Structure formats: structure tokens, C-alpha cells
């Protein structure tokens, strides 16, 4: 069976019906359809297919975000009230769009100042469904990390990773006077970056690659070393970081 035959509407509908009959959740089915959709679109872009088949996702209950996106002024307020470790976590998430767990487990060995890249997967860790990509450092993040460069974990207490953030984050949020109506969580920084990337016109594939929503294929393993790797995403994030910095300066004036 060819790719075109496998992806025609009747085949897709049959596949979805079979998966539902086996009790699989709509979100899981959509994950599989999304993989097929991304793969065929990529094959089309590479000239391996004459056209990209249309693969429609099914209706699924949207997951509630773990935190609301924030305004640059709100992030600046958080940074102004953050302790050393919370400040580092916010800056890492703001500069890369990574998940809180990735920021908390990052080691200096992952930061390559020469190439301007950060490998969000620490040595010895294996990739999971929550893919940890290699991303380009915006100039503001690079300068921030260069001033604080060291060894071991970037975020630590007694040379150990910090697992619980509830108290530190709550104190930071309260002191920053973030409105109670705003669901301000560590994940809010990641969601802010994601929204900013889309609003800045960054291409969808680069947004997915930046946020770890898609993994590099074997043929793309050297992509991070290309001069234009995630260039649009990096530029957009740098603009966001500069806006946060401006808000902080205005508040301090």
C-alpha cells in the first residue's frame, strides 16, 4: 500500500474507528495522526512525495494549560523578586522555552558558549515523550549565563537539584504582585514563549523544534550546527527578553 493510499480519508477513518473500538483516547489517536501528518509533510518538502496528503485530526478535549501566559511586565516583576535559583530558572525558561524540569536538571556541560547552543538533555539522560532539544542561545541569555558560568548544575541547593518549587515560586509571585486572577505558574514562562513565537511569525516546524514538540530525525542530527538553525525562533525570543528587560528598567526608574 502506498503512502497516498494509506492516508486517504477512508483509510484514516477506518484507522480512527479501530483505535476508538480498542479504547484509545482521542488525544492518543491525535498524537499518532500528528506524527503521520508531520512525516508526510516533511517528505513532501524534501521531494520524496509529489504531494502531502491531508490528514485531519479528530475532536478531542483540549487540555487546560498548566499556567497562563504572562505579559513582559509581569515576567520582569517576577525576576525583580526572585531569589538566585528562581531567577536562573525563569531566565532559562524565558531564553529557551524549556519545561521547568529541563531547567532544573541542566548542567553547565550542556551550555556551549563557542557554538551558542544549549543541549537541554543532560549527559546520561535519555529522551522521553517530552523531548529535550538542542536550542540556540539568544544573546541576552548567553550574556547572562556567561557571567554566572560554573560547574555542575545551573540550579542547585547543596549541589543537588531542586525538586520542589512551591514555596519559592509562591513568594516570588506574591512579592511581584501578580494578580490573583492570573494562573501564574513556572509553566507560564514556557507558554509565554510559545505564544510569542507564534505571534512573531516563526514557522511552525521551528516552534515545535524549539519547544521539544518534535524530535530531529537521523538525517537532521547535525542541524543544530547549521548557521540558520532556529534563527527565527532565537531572534523572536531575544526580542521578548529585551522587552522584559525594558519593562524591568522602567519599573526600577
Q: Where in the chain is the domain with CATH 1.10.443.10?
A: 72-252
Report the pLDDT averaged over residues 207-235: 77
Q: What is the mean pLDDT of residues 20-49?
A: 85
Taking CA atoms, 87 is separated from 12, 52, 79, 105, 207, in Å, by 47, 44, 6, 15, 24
> What is the C-alpha to C-alpha distance for residues 241 and 29, in angstroms, rounded to an integer?
37
92-124 per-position pLDDT tens digit: 999 999 999 999 999 999 999 999 999 999 999
Tell me the per-residue pLDDT of 180-200, one tens digit each, with 9 for 90 and over. 899 999 999 999 999 999 999
Look at residue 44 in the predicted model and tell me its pLDDT: 82
Report the SS3 class of residue 111: strand
The CATH number that domain 72-252 falls under is 1.10.443.10
Read off the pLDDT band of 60 (50, 70, 90).
low
- pLDDT value at residue 36: 86
CA-CA distance, 191 to 75, in Å (whole number)?
Answer: 12
Mean local confidence (pLDDT), 86-91: 98
Grid coordinates standing for 203? 514557522
Contact 132, 120 (CB under 8 A): yes
- Mean local confidence (pLDDT), 65-82: 95
pLDDT, residue 219, reads: 45
The predicted-structure confidence for 123-164, as pLDDT tens digits, reads as follows 999 988 888 999 999 999 999 999 999 999 999 998 898 988
Give the pTM: 0.75
Residue 236: pLDDT over 90: yes
Give dist(CA 192, CA 141) in Å, integer.
16
Q: How many degrees, rounded to 5, is the angle at CA 91 between CA 196 and CA 234?
A: 45
Q: Is the pLDDT of residue 83 over 80?
A: yes
Secondary structure (3-state) at 133: coil
The more confidently predicted of residues 75 and 58 is 75
Amino acid at each position: 500500500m502506498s503512502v497516498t493510499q494509506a492516508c486517504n480519508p477512508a483509510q484514516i477513518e477506518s484507522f480512527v474507528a479501530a483505535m476508538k473500538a480498542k479504547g484509545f483516547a482521542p488525544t492518543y489517536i491525535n498524537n499518532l495522526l500528528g506524527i503521520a501528518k508531520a512525516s508526510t509533510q516533511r517528505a513532501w518538502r524534501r521531494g520524496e512525495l509529489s504531494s502531502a496528503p491531508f490528514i485531519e485530526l479528530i475532536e478531542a478535549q483540549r487540555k487546560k494549560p498548566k499556567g497562563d501566559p504572562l505579559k513582559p511586565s509581569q515576567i520582569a516583576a517576577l525576576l525583580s523578586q526572585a531569589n538566585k535559583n528562581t531567577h536562573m530558572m525563569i531566565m532559562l525558561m524565558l531564553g529557551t522555552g524549556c519545561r521547568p524540569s529541563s531547567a532544573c536538571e541542566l548542567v553547565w556541560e550542556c551550555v556551549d558558549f563557542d557554538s551558542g547552543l544549549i543541549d537541554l538533555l543532560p549527559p546520561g539522560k535519555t529522551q522521553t515523550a517530552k523531548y529535550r532539544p538542542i536550542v540556540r542561545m539568544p544573546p541576552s541569555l548567553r550574556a547572562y549565563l556567561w557571567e554566572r558560568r560554573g560547574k555542575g548544575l545551573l540550579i542547585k541547593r547543596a549541589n543537588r537539584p531542586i525538586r520542589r518549587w512551591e514555596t519559592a515560586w509562591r513568594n516570588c509571585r506574591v512579592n511581584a504582585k501578580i494578580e490573583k486572577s492570573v494562573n501564574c505558574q513556572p509553566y507560564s514562562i514556557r507558554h509565554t514563549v510559545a505564544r510569542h513565537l507564534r505571534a512573531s511569525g516563526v514557522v511552525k516546524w521551528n516552534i515545535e523544534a524549539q519547544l521539544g514538540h518534535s524530535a530531529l530525525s537521523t538525517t537532521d542530527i547535525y542541524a543544530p550546527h547549521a548557521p540558520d538553525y532556529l534563527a527565527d525562533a532565537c531572534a523572536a525570543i531575544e526580542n521578548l527578553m529585551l522587552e522584559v528587560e525594558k519593562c524591568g528598567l522602567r519599573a526600577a526608574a
